[in-house]
Amino acid sequence: MKYLFFTILAGAFLVYSTACTAGTRAEVKTETIVAAPVAVDQHDVIALDDAAFVDQVFDYRNNTEWAFKGERPAIIDFYADWCGPCKRLAPILVELQKEYGDKIQIYKVDAERNRELAAAFGVTAYPTMLFIPMDGDPAGARGLLPKEELERIIGEFLKVSK
């Protein structure tokens, strides 16, 4: 009986210690995604919350007519942390931001944490991207788009080349 107790205790400790270290082994690469309003360089994807979106992109609470505040065409990625396609899209967007540099700005919005903002743009699936040209209204796309398709949209709709 005594050995059974120690065996169970040792097994529980082993399970507990393995579970704790599994969480610390996961590596999240966010070196090129920064939170606003920190000064960023032109090669960073910027993570926006509701307030930063209103300040930098569009005040959707007080305006019904589109008025983009940005200085260059933009892509807004509405994502969720648990979304597999969103995780596959993230590095593609980082690559595009680096390749296009100061010609476009890519933003990320956690739609789960910013539900009012996501609802204002009709986000019901993840990922949802909003493409914002300098002149004209934005257009959206749902789902994981390949890099080639994103480059086509950037060229044709946002009117930006590398």
Q: Summarize pLDDT for 121-152 with one digit per residue, the tens.
A: 999 999 999 999 999 999 999 999 999 999 99
- With 60 as the cut, is the pLDDT of residue 20 above it? no
Nearest to 43, CA basis, from 29, 53, 30, 33 = 33
Pairwise CA distance, residues 33 & 6, whole Å: 47
Residues 31-90: tens digit of each pLDDT: 344 454 444 555 799 999 999 999 999 999 999 999 999 999 999 999 999 999 999 999
pTM above 0.85, yes or no: no
Catalytic residue ranges:
83, 86
Bridging pattern class, strands 139-142 and 128-132: antiparallel
As its CATH architecture, domain 33-156 has: 3-Layer(aba) Sandwich (3.40)
C-alpha 53, offset from chain centre = 13
Distance CA 24, CA 116 (A): 32
What's the confidence (pLDDT) of residue 43?
75
Provide mean pLDDT across the span 93-102: 97
Length of the chain as a residue count = 162
Helices (H) and strands (E) in the chain, counts: 5, 6
